[in-house]
Amino acid sequence: MFPTMSVKDTGYRKMNSLVDACRRAFGRDMTRYTNANFADDDSVNSVKLNAGISSNATHIRYHTGTTIWRLRSPLEKVLLLLVAVLLFVIFVLACILHIAEHRVKNVIQVEMDYSQPCLNKSCIQISNNILEAMDTSFDPCDDFYSYACNGWVKANPIPDGKSTWGTFQKLEQQNQLVIKRVLEQPMENLKSKAEQKAKMYYESCLDVNDTVEALGATPMLALLKKIGGWNITESGFDIKTWTLQNITQIIQNKYNIGGLFSYAVSEDDRNSSRHILQIDQNGLTLPTRENYLNKTEHAKVLKAYLEYMTKVGVLLGGELNSTRAQMQAVIDFETRLANITTPGELRRDEESIYNLMTIAELQERAPFIDWRGFFEDAMRIVNKKITSKEQIVVYAPEYLGNLTLLINEYNSTEEGRIILNNYMVWQTVRVFTVCLSKAFRDAYKGLRTALLGSEGGEEPQWRYCVQDTNTVLGFAIGAIFVREVFHQDSKLQAEEMINNVRNAFKKNFNNLKWMDEETRKVANDKADAISDMIGYPEFIRDTNQLDERFENLLVRNNTYFENNININYFNLKKMLEKINEPVNKTTWSMAPSTVNAYYTPTKNQMVFPAGILQSPFYDPSYPPSLNYGGMGVVMGHELTHGFDDQGRQFDKYGNLNHWWKNKTIEKFKQRTKCVVDQYNKFKINGKNINGNQTLGENIADNGGLKAAYHAYLQLHQAEPKPLPGIPLTHRQLFFVAFAQVWCSAVTKEATNLQIEKDSHSPAQYRVIGALSNLKEFSQEFKCKPGSKMNPRNKCEVW
């Protein structure tokens, strides 16, 4: 998911079209013309009227005497009056013709000015890119996404091996080229030890020494023995000595693999200045619980999953039929986990899922393992003590209670315990198979095709390895990326843009009738308190600080499997070190080269990495309309997340807090229901979008678009020249730029998975939904009320 030229505000920027421009320009000039020139006309006409007439006549003309008039006959009087009226009519017509001639000159002049577009290289390139993406055969008031993007979709088929292809992915690939070029330079050219470790990891992924292929299954077989063996293979498994406690501690506290639950050390939602233990539901391998529960619709996925598991088991030495039967038992167990897992759409109320308790209280609720023993085992890594009185936030107490019942059932028989161990070991195997030889990686293709409609693996290995290196050593890669392509001026310009968007967002508070005055004030304070991090964290520019961050990470260029085990442990230790430590609210959670942005409610912080501060989101050569339509909307989106249905529950300090008036909360929920109902009606591939699941992102899309547009309108700058070949105003181009950020092509399978899993709406409805709710869009494109892009009933939250 995302800086500006200052332009003086002119009358042109306030006009909706060229016709309006001409009319308004003429209106101003006409006033000036009338005031200045009618007096001159009177003087000229006076001379003409006075010519050939005596001074007496002149005197009589201005002083109404009675002597001569009384001598006239009635007929003469009538004729004189008619002549006077005729002369007056001629005079008026002459004035009108003169004014009309002046008006025509003015209109022609305005048209000539407007017809002189920007013709420098940058403007021509920008226009070409915009026009190639558009498809003007579509009515913008009927389907603006197709109008703005259909040309792009036709010209950009999904590449082989991809399930999604859009502007985000294209920009990511450009960034990958920059990183690849540096990582393939000699080691001595790199600026820090951290960057050298990134190069070594990259080379291990590329398998430059052919060790991955030569080793085959050997690394995984060695790992299986270390963790106690697997019943599928000859690896030393002994059910008589096995315990769930032991395998859980090994998998989660040594190899940092998620199992039946997930845990973390993170900011306390109610006291965001401290770190605290947190625990939540987990355990499903497939992306959604629906993959397990809707067996009719997902039969293809379940079949492919079983085949994938069986292939991996056989590659590790398992017998085919036995492996398939045992893997089916694991799927059956995961299906039962899916049954007790709460859907994400029902977990959006942060206050209701926050449950603070002690480890002793957790033990009473979910006694399927010894929790104090589990966490004591984890804290030995960082030499910290923990007691049964240690506080922990439990986000899924009902799940853990039901899990206890399920575990007790399986634990009661030897067969059940074998299934539990097979499940736990499978969680480890599936994570690390990507680090094994090609045969293991190919085993996943069938499942990937069933889930995403593409088997993957067609793109060059170096691309996968750049992405993988960025995932595990993102800040080292960030130092490389920032040094190579990021301009420091972009930070300052982005800061200016953010402030403009923030000011527009706050200004709109005054228009929100549903907010009470007190809530409006604290909301304004929170908006002011949102910090913004732009480009990169400062420590990556300091070689010593960067090296210190990765000092304890061991990486070699010929041990890809072991490198990943080391990285998992390294990240686990870094996380555990934070227990009961104060929170640094300037830390980043995203690598600088990432094409994305995010908002963190507990930090009340939004982050815009260097990777997204590029075309098509932002470019210094772009006119403000395009930069605000692209990057400005991204900024508004993240800002609005602080006030969506979840973010609004956190105050300006990042604490979960009931800081709104109850009546305002009820009115807010009424408005969010409108958004839920609206997006529920959007349909793709015969499937409706889940309005509850996507609510937060939809609120952010709508609020971000509105804030960015009004920030753009409030710029006080000279209007740029029109772009060549595009008969659109810059106000209209703002909306085109917004839409074209989301131009994308997606497989049917990937779209269906997104509808089931993703908190974001599909791209076309991120455009259509937000624009159809913004009245200013319909005004600019003159969409009739009741048209698809201008529905009579609109939803507005912010």
Q: Which helix (H) or strand (E) holds 392?
A: strand 391-394
Residue 550 in 3-state DSSP? coil
Kindly state the DSSP code that residue 189 receives in the 8-state scheme.
Answer: G
Report the relative pairing of strands 261-268 and 271-281 from DSSP bridges: antiparallel
Strand partners, 534: 608
Rounded (10°) angle between helices 560-576 and 218-226:
40
Cβ atoms within 10 A of the Cβ of 336, count?
16
Q: Among candidates 219, 145, 336, 188, which has minimal Cα distance to 739?
A: 145
For this structure, is 139 an active site residue?
no
Spatial separation of the C-alpha atoms in residues 5 and 721, rounded to whole Å:
13
Phi, psi (degrees; rounded to nearest 5) at 620: -60, -25
- Residue environment code for 374-395, b if the CB has 16+ CB neighbours within 10 A, otherwise e: bbbbbbeeeeeebeeebebbbb
CA 622 vs CA 496, 626, 704, 738: distances in Å: 16, 6, 20, 13
Answer whether 239's CB lies under 8 Å from 414's CB.
yes
* Active-site residue (options: 267, 361, 390, 638): 638
Phi, psi (degrees; rounded to nearest 5) at 580: 60, 15
Answer whether 513's CB lies under 8 Å from 797's CB.
no
Tokens in use for 759? 């908190």
Spatial separation of the C-alpha atoms in residues 789 and 675, rounded to whole Å:
15
Spatial separation of the C-alpha atoms in residues 163 and 750, rounded to whole Å:
6
What lies within 8 Å, CB to CB, of 108 at 6+ separation is none
For this structure, is 701 an active site residue?
yes
CA 429 vs CA 204, 211, 331, 436: distances in Å: 19, 19, 15, 10
CA dihedral over 495, 497, 502, 503, signed as positive or negative: positive
Q: Counting runs of H as helices and runs of E as strands, what totals does the chain give?
A: 35, 11
Report the relative pairing of strands 605-609 and 598-600 from DSSP bridges: antiparallel
Spatial separation of the C-alpha atoms in residues 387 and 392, rounded to whole Å:
11
Look-up: residue for tokens 């161990």?
421
Side-chain-side CA neighbours of 224 within 13 Å: the count stands at 26
Report the relative pairing of strands 683-684 and 687-688 from DSSP bridges: antiparallel
- What are the start-end ranges of the E strands in 234-363? 261-268, 271-281, 355-358
Look-up: residue for tokens 């930069």?
627
Look-up: residue for tokens 């089916």?
328
Spatial separation of the C-alpha atoms in residues 208 and 428, rounded to whole Å:
26
Tokens in use for 392? 């922990």
Strand partners, 263: 279
Cβ atoms within 10 A of the Cβ of 364, count?
10
Tokens in use for 581? 């430590």
What is the C-alpha R_g of the chain?
35
Spatial separation of the C-alpha atoms in residues 114 and 797, rounded to whole Å:
37
Tokens in use for 155? 């010209």
What lies within 8 Å, CB to CB, of 348 at 6+ separation is 645, 646, 692, 695, 696
Strand partners, 235: none
CA 174 vs CA 118, 185, 303, 536: distances in Å: 27, 18, 37, 18
* Active-site residue (options: 701, 756, 758, 780): 701
Catalytically annotated residues: 638, 701
